[in-house]
Amino acid sequence: MRNRSLALSFATVLATAALTGCAVTSHGVQPSALGKARPSSELLPMLTQPGPVELETVVSCDWAVERGGLINLDHPTAKRAGLEDGDEPVQVFFHALRHPEKGLFIVDTGVETALRDAPEKAAMRGLVASAMNMEKMTVHAPLGEWLAKQQQPLAGVFLTHLHLDHITGMADVPAGTPVYTGPGEASDRAFVNLVVQGNSDRALAGKPPLSEWTYAREDSGLFDGAVDIFGDGSVWALWLPGHTPGTTAYLVRSTKGPVLLAGDISHTRWGWEHDVEPGSFNNDADRATVSFKKLRAFAQAHPEVEVRMGHQH
């Protein structure tokens, strides 16, 4: 009788999981001790001031992804352009930020070295690797190989979001390195995460609990919230939910001018330039479109800001 009850309980758990899905990772989460929420309007006067941060964008690998996920092919502009589904050439980036006082940080993580040298040992493997078409990746600069050449240690990782192609290099991040995300990223539940979670957990193994940016919600602000990361206005986290609940863009006041690291608020250069939002690769399509429009309006109002897309230059 006891065995039957246990079996029924286990079946109930499995059935519930199948209906509600699970979180993208079981990794711990904590509020970020780094950064301070400020009204997003306070970053505007700083855009014309020289910045202290050296910024480098590294193409970790070339890849190809279904165009219909990256661009809304049902949009009238996409239809007039004759865009059809098929492979869209993209890249996987990481961005290196060198702050003169705070040290070296990266935004997103490229790909890990094992993905090139020992795929069977990589964090992303099995069904997930197959579904992500990782065989279409041509690796140029694995994160671990790049980090080994740097003269200063990595002080932290800023993630735009927790989709696997943005944490694919996380296994190369040294254990104990702080990792920062937007709110609700780790707890977002979906059916697909029943397969994804193990890969995410392997990528994040050895890292401290994920530190979530403590945004103050702005209902009528430029963005849903903003955090001045270092307290000097040099790097801002900008909350733009929709693609995922905590999707975050980063505004960097670099030594060469302000740069907006847009993440997957727009995957492609074509979508950005033609005002066509991403396609099916969104958690909440309506909210993602609102965030896309907010970011484009900001960029159009401030043409001095260079915009770097999530997967294309």
pLDDT tens-place string over residues 209-230: 999 999 999 988 999 999 999 9
For residue 89, give both structure tokens.
């050439």
Between vectors from CA 276 to CA 270 and to CA 279, what angle results, nearest 5°? 100
The structural domains of the chain, with segments of one domain joined by +, span: 30-308
CB 183, CB 212: distance < 8 Å: yes
Phi and psi (nearest 5°) for 157? -125, 125
* Per-residue pLDDT reduced to its tens digit, 264-289: 999 999 999 999 999 999 889 999 99
CB 41, CB 213: distance < 8 Å: no
> Does residue 13 surpass a pLDDT of 80?
no
Instruction: Tell me the pLDDT band of 20, cut-offs 50, 70 and 90.
Output: low
The pTM score is 0.92
> Does residue 232 surpass a pLDDT of 80?
yes
Q: How large is the average pLDDT for residues 56-61?
A: 97
In terms of residues, how long is the chain? 313
**Count of H-run helices and E-run strands, the chain:** 9, 16
How many Cβ atoms are within 10 Å of 152's Cβ, its own excluded? Answer: 8
Mean pLDDT (the chain, rounded): 91
* Per-residue pLDDT reduced to its tens digit, 142-182: 999 999 999 999 999 999 999 999 999 999 999 999 999 99
CB 226, CB 274: distance < 8 Å: no
Between vectors from CA 48 to CA 42 and to CA 51, what angle results, nearest 5°? 90
CA 250 and chain centroid, separation = 10
Instruction: Name residue, tokens 């969104």.
Output: 282
For residue 22, give both structure tokens.
């699970």
CB 169, CB 256: distance < 8 Å: no
Q: In what order do the strands lie in the sheet with 225-228?
A: 36-37, 225-228, 235-239, 248-254, 257-263, 306-309
* pLDDT value at residue 192: 83
* pLDDT value at residue 247: 97
State the DSSP code for 86: S
Percent of the chain with pLDDT over 70: 94
Quick one: which H or E segment has residue 248? strand 248-254
CA-nearest of 27, 24, 60 to 204 is 27
Instruction: Tell me the pLDDT band of 50, cut-offs 50, 70 and 90.
Output: confident
Measured CA distances, 92 to 134, 171, 292 (Å) = 11, 15, 20
Task: Please indicate whether residue 249 or residue 4 has the higher confidence score (pLDDT).
Answer: 249
Q: How far apart are CA 194 and CA 23, in angstroms?
A: 8
